[in-house]
Structure 1
């Protein structure tokens, strides 16, 4: 049996979790139980071309550090345990998706950025317990799509008309998964 996912417009609490321009992005929730590497890597490959940027706020797992080191994946270290990785190949994408899923399933968000003129140093997140996540150095005019990966799915924020509704987003998800139509905004 295929794993089911749902796609809905995001509610205000989800949207307000980030300090990003609300008027230029459409926010969509993609929920899935037991998120997997193939779910994320297929979605990203279907939606974007390279380069794609992954922001890993933590490297709590030695396995993640080992993969980055052993494969000589260039990574911009922005804190004692955070990395920003510019992805330029499918192999690197799949390796980083593996790390991302491990982090997400352990409650640590991973951010994915796609756009023109993005640089690693601009994608450093700032968190304070009582404020939204902020990317202080980022010009959001350069961002086409921003994805927050968590243990329960994804929040997709995009300016691209190809992804501006739950129905459109569902076309980019692998056929290995089935849409829960009852719980989706279709």
Structure 2
């Protein structure tokens, strides 16, 4: 019998929350920790949580694979720096492709953010990143954001105002059944 990869779900600690300039009182912050985050983890999570459109903010070069997908599929995107892109995703196959690219970037230590909400535009999602300051989205009206996810090599942090995702127990229902919950290390 193959062992499932375990993950834990906890309320985020202050260091994670303070990594961003956001209105903290309106968002619940949940951390999902996993060893070796993969597309088979991120894709079902995002697909189960959101409807389209979904916006991916890729702070750094998305490699040639990403650029060719954008070009071949005529995907709406916004280039915001010499190598950063914001992609508006409106189909399952494009979502899967960018979840795959996001995992590659995260495993290389590059920031990836996923946004869902009403009335969001690519230009509003440009991050201001300075090494010694919290990440800020200066043009973003956070009243339009329902949920955003920070993807890293050790899991994700979900910032949400949606009651479906406002506790570790609730978030665990959106994670693929091919993973198992580490109950001992989770806030349930």
How many pairs does the alignment contain?
A: 186
State the Cα distance separating 1:130 from its structure 2 match: 1.3
Pair 1:143 & 2:145 matched: yes
Deviates more, 1:109-118 or 1:54-63: 54-63
Unpaired runs of 5+ residues, structure 1, are: none
Pair 1:103 & 2:93 matched: no
C-alpha distance after superposition, 1:79-118 (max 9, x if no partner): 1101101110001000111110000000011000000000
State the Cα distance separating 1:64 from its structure 2 match: 2.4
Residue aligning to 2:96: 94
Residue aligning to 1:119: 121
Residue aligning to 2:59: 57
State the Cα distance separating 1:68 from its structure 2 match: 2.4
Moved over 3 A (4+): none
Residue of 2, 24, 29 corresponding to 2:4: 2
Task: Give TM-score scaled by structure 1 length.
Answer: 0.97
Residue aligning to 1:159: 161
| Contact kept? 2:62, 2:101, Cα under 8 Å | no
State the Cα distance separating 1:24 from its structure 2 match: 0.3
Q: Equivalents in 1 of 2:73, 2:152: separation in Å?
A: 25
Residue aligning to 2:36: 34
Residue aligning to 1:170: 172
Root mean square deviation, CA, Å = 0.9
